[in-house]
């Protein structure tokens, strides 16, 4: 497999310590054997470089069998977003921030609305600093949206490498 047959999916939230690392872990798991063909990344529009995942994120994902202890936050950059094949943001203001840095807007989608018609009634709110229940609800919503996303990612893979 060459780099041309791999795809890069980028999840973007604000601080890159809660929602986007959760979504990246969820997508990698949902892809199963196809995960090796997809580079799943996460970043934040206002991330403090090197910050670990929040304690609520670690606790919530750990109880679901995921270990995000090695995650370190990174800021979304023009270079990072320009190299992504598919970019999923958590809130509309994240899309605006990426647009301001020149992201290819045909590749940027609101996670709760993609693929269409999505489930816009199920927004992915930031749980940072909130209750355990808020983290669990965020994780549940992310899992719902990511499961809807998997067929789209597999379709992109098929277009890239139909063999």
**pLDDT tens digits, one per residue of 54-74:** 999 999 999 999 999 999 999
Catalytic residue among 18, 19, 74, 141: 19
Catalytic residue among 34, 85, 119, 126: 126
Catalytic residue among 13, 18, 95, 141: 13
106 belongs to the catalytic site: no
The rounded distance, in Å, linking the Cα atoms of 25 and 31 is: 10
Q: What is the pLDDT along the chain (163 residues), one digit of tens a residue?
A: 455 568 999 999 999 999 999 999 999 999 999 999 999 999 999 999 999 999 999 999 999 999 999 999 999 999 999 999 999 999 999 999 999 999 999 999 999 999 999 999 999 999 999 999 999 999 999 999 999 999 999 999 998 877 6
Give Cβ neighbours of residue 134 (< 8 Å, ≥ 6 apart).
56, 125, 127
Determine the pLDDT at residue 161: 78
**pLDDT tens digits, one per residue of 2-25:** 555 689 999 999 999 999 999 999
pTM of the predicted structure, to 2 decimals: 0.95
Let me know if domain 7-160 sits in CATH 1.10.3720.10: no
The rounded distance, in Å, linking the Cα atoms of 126 and 115 is: 21
Indicate the domain borders of the chain: 7-160
126 belongs to the catalytic site: yes
Residues 155/120/112/108 CA torsion (nearest 10 deg): 80
**Distance (Å) of CA 144 to CA 5, 46, 117:** 27, 25, 14
Q: Is 115 helix (H, G, I), strand (E, B) or coil?
A: coil
Determine the pLDDT at residue 5: 60
CA 51 to chain centre: 17
13 belongs to the catalytic site: yes
């Amino acid at each position: 497999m060459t780099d041309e047959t791999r795809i890069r999916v980028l999840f973007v939230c604000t601080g890159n310590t809660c929602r986007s690392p959760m979504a990246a872990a969820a997508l990698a798991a949902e892809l199963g054997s196809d995960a090796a063909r997809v580079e799943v990344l996460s970043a934040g529009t206002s991330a403090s470089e090197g910050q670990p995942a929040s304690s609520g994120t670690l606790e919530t994902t750990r109880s679901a069998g995921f270990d995000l202890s090695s995650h370190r936050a990174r800021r979304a950059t023009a270079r990072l977003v320009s190299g992504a094949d598919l970019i999923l943001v958590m809130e509309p203001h994240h899309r605006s921030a990426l647009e301001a840095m020149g992201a290819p807007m045909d590749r940027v989608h609101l996670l709760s609305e993609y693929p269409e018609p999505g489930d816009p009634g199920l927004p992915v709110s930031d749980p940072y600093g909130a209750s355990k229940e808020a983290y669990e609800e965020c994780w549940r919503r992310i899992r719902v949206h990511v499961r809807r996303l998997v067929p789209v990612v597999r379709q992109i893979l098929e277009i890239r490498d139909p063999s």
